[in-house]
Amino acid sequence: MTAADPNLSAGAHQPEGATTLTGILFLLLATTIFPIQDVIIKSLSSDFAVHQIVFWRSIFALPIAAAMARSEGALWPLKIGSWPLQLTRAVAAFSSYLVYYMALAAIGLAETAAITFSTPIFVTLLAAVFLGERIGIWRWLAVLLGMAGVLVIVQPGAAVFEPAALLALAAALFYAVSIIATRRLGSRTNGGTMTLVTLLVYIVGGTVLGLVFSGLETASPHPSLAFLYRDWIAPAPMDWLALAALGVTSGIGFFALSQAYRMAEASVVTPFEYTYLPWAVLWGYVVFGVLPGLSTWIGLTLIVGSGLLILFRETLRGRRIVRRRGLGVMRQR
């Protein structure tokens, strides 16, 4: 999530180097916080429906996001810009969030995160189609490199193929659509408005899916489908604590990302989003006793290399969208 004015530095009276360092530290805080959210949701996935978790997480996050927007002077009046683009962006973000956690119910934290970090590849392709951006030889190389990484992890056609990996890939695609809508909105909106609209769509979407799938099916042999079809249940006291923790972690994460991208150039802080991946590996091992296989490590390296190559080339070309907003994948996690 970007701030209301990416050029406005919260540390305007600090030396430039100190401000940049503070921005990097905020980004590192976000990459430390968001994997904890993933651990909580994966732990809840055996009992709760994904749409129930989305609903309550958004309810608890809403006042925190509103306070964050208010602190930036962006709470009211809302700077919508374009309702069709705002809704497209929010629905795409909601869809990305939904299928990401459906994937997480079946596969490891590291595998899910690694596949989802292919978002910059889809942004590049969609920008060529919908924004008329030209894809040069280096960006094509990055796209092919990233796709190779995805194929190494997903392994379509192999005996170990897990269909839930396609959900993680869909999460990357949906989020790329959200980023393209953000680009089209440009300066007509701000970070506070986008966050509030997105959370409201999450709440409405979770409610609708709860009504649609409630009673439709009570069991499924696949963890991802069971996560979707499961009925809503009354949370126990410890469950309420976990759901509230989701709202708090997402609220803190949003704030940290906002500060990071306000205080430093996105081309400087965006590469630090990849520090999310070591945390995903660590928590996957500590909490669930799972370490990524060799193919995941190889694919992860290719995907990270692809994303950094796209970012590096776009920064060299001086593209404003990369310098100011970056190509990160955690903006609405």
pLDDT tier, 332 (very low <50, low <70, confident <90, very high otherwise): low
Residue 2 has pLDDT above 90, yes or no: no
With a threshold of 0.95, does the pTM exceed it?
no
Query: For residues 307 and 146, is the Cβ–Cβ distance under 8 A?
Result: yes
Length of the chain: 333
> Which tops the pLDDT comparison, 286 or 65?
286
Contacts for 231-236: CB closer than 8 Å, 24+ residues apart:
231/49, 232/48, 232/49, 232/52, 233/47, 233/48, 233/52, 235/48, 235/56
pLDDT on residue 55:
95
Average the pLDDT over each of 5-9, 100-104, 131-135, 207-211 and give the range with the smallest value: 5-9
Rounded Cα–Cα distance for residues 26 and 264 (Å): 10
Model confidence over 295-321: pLDDT tens digits?
889 988 998 888 888 777 766 666 655
- Longest CA pairwise span in the chain (Å): 59
Lowest mean pLDDT among 73-82, 83-92, 105-114: 73-82
Burial zone of 323 (CB within 10 Å; 0-12 exposed, 13-18 middle, 19+ buried): middle
Q: What is the pLDDT of residue 3?
A: 35
**pLDDT tens digit string along 218-274?**
666 788 988 998 889 999 999 999 999 998 898 888 778 777 877 777 667 778 888
What per-residue confidence (pLDDT) applies to 323? 56
Quick one: pLDDT at residue 132? 78
Half-sphere exposure of 36 (CA within 13 A, CB side): 17
> Per-residue pLDDT averaged across 191-210, rounded?
88
Dist. CA 318–CA 180, nearest whole Å: 18
Judge whether residue 194 has pLDDT over 50. yes
